[in-house]
Amino acid sequence: MKSVLEVRHLKKAYQHGKETVQAVDDVSFQIHTGECLGLVGESGCGKSTIAKMVTRLESPDAGEIFLNDREITRVSGKALRTVYQQMQMVFQMPVDSFNPRIKLGEGIRESLINQGMGRREAKTKAWEYLEICGLDKTFADRYPHQVSGGECQRASIARAIAIKPCLVICDEATSALDVTVQAQIIKMLKRLKKELGMSYLFICHDLALVQEICDRVMVMQNGTIVEQGIPDDIIMRPREAYTKKLIDSIF
């Protein structure tokens, strides 16, 4: 099966005063076409650092990152445009990911225009993808502060998928939402995965949500992957004490 994303031996350390903290330590994994890979662990375990390195918001100290068999480990500047045509990110706080001075529709159109689409077509596509994500086109004329958290997250997902990426990285994309809205967003992501054939890296601290959407899951502790497998197996038959602790805290 073809790999959309392959990460090899990633490492990242930060300096805090005289202390060196190893945020990510020799992490390797693959995400296959149409697959949702979950990455779980407590806050500070290194999950978001992996997301930042994969999306080139930060550079790794060591290791390699491949997107559709092309190495992107050190890609920067204008060359990132090609990377972001294939990979998009959905953040934890959707309101913060939009410019508060522009309407939601314009935020979606802007990402399409940046990829070379004409303004008229981009406007139509923005409406189309809002509707795909469960919002009617009137939401295009609303500002981020004029919609609920769940509606804003739907709009941010619409913006992410409008350019038809092969990989979407969801970094705690549901953690700021209430339980009912979480369930709606998960249902929508599952539908989009099936209909559009997208792959996800689903970063989360909640194994129950991971069980709902992910094909495989990796458990991360102190910068390393301590356990991985099918979500049901991990939850029903955890091998590591840390995984058992995570499960007990949820269930």
Return the amino acid letter for 41. Answer: G
Q: Which residues pair with 30 in a beta bridge?
A: 6
pLDDT attached to residue 192: 84
pTM of the model: 0.89
147: number of Cβ within 10 Å? 19
Residue 154 within a domain = no
Percent residues over pLDDT 70 in the chain: 99
Does the pLDDT of residue 250 top 80, yes or no?
no
- Find the distance separating the first CA and the last CA of the chain, reported in whole Å: 34
Residue 117 within a domain = no
Does the pLDDT of residue 240 top 80, yes or no?
yes
Does the pLDDT of residue 232 top 90, yes or no?
yes
Residue 107 within a domain = no
pLDDT attached to residue 251: 62
Mean pLDDT across the chain: 90
Residue 62 within a domain = yes
Q: What is the mean pLDDT of residues 121-134?
A: 91
Q: What is the mean pLDDT of residues 109-133?
A: 89
pLDDT in tens, 10-30: 999 998 888 899 999 999 999
> Residue 43's domain is classified under what CATH number?
3.40.50.300
The 3-state secondary structure of the chain reads CCEEEEEEEEEEEEEECCEEEEEEEEEEEEEECCCEEEEECCCCCCHHHHHHHHCCCCCCCEEEEEECCEECCCCCHHHHHHHHHHEEEECCCHHHHCCCCCCHHHHHHHHHHHCCCCHHHHHHHHHHHHHHCCCCHHHHHCCHHHCCHHHHHHHHHHHHHHCCCCEEEEECCCCCCCHHHHHHHHHHHHHHHHHHCCEEEEEECCHHHHHHHCCEEEEEECCEEEEEECHHHHHHCCCCHHHHHHHHHHC
Of residues 150 and 1, the one with the higher pLDDT is 150
Locate tokens 């058992």: which residue?
244
Token reading at 143 = 């500002």
CA quadruple 150, 153, 154, 158: dihedral, nearest 10: 170
HSE-CB for 48 with a 13 A CA cutoff: 10
CA 231 to chain centre: 18
Give yes or no for a contact between 250 and 206, defined as CB atoms under 8 angstroms apart: yes
HSE-CB for 19 with a 13 A CA cutoff: 4
Which distant-in-sequence residues (6+ apart) come within 8 Å of 191 by Cβ? none
Does the pLDDT of residue 189 top 70, yes or no?
yes
pLDDT in tens, 77-115: 888 888 988 999 998 887 888 899 999 999 999 889 888
Residue 148 within a domain = no
pLDDT attached to residue 195: 85
71: number of Cβ within 10 Å? 12
Does the pLDDT of residue 146 top 90, yes or no?
yes
- Structurally, how many domains does the chain consist of? 1
Does the pLDDT of residue 247 top 80, yes or no?
yes
pLDDT attached to residue 231: 93
Residue 47 within a domain = yes
Percent residues over pLDDT 90 in the chain: 55
Residue 176 within a domain = yes
Locate tokens 């953040």: which residue?
91
Residue 211 within a domain = yes
pLDDT in tens, 26-64: 999 999 999 999 999 988 899 999 999 999 999 999 999
The range of the structural domain enclosing residue 225 comes to 3-94+167-250
Does the pLDDT of residue 132 top 90, yes or no?
no
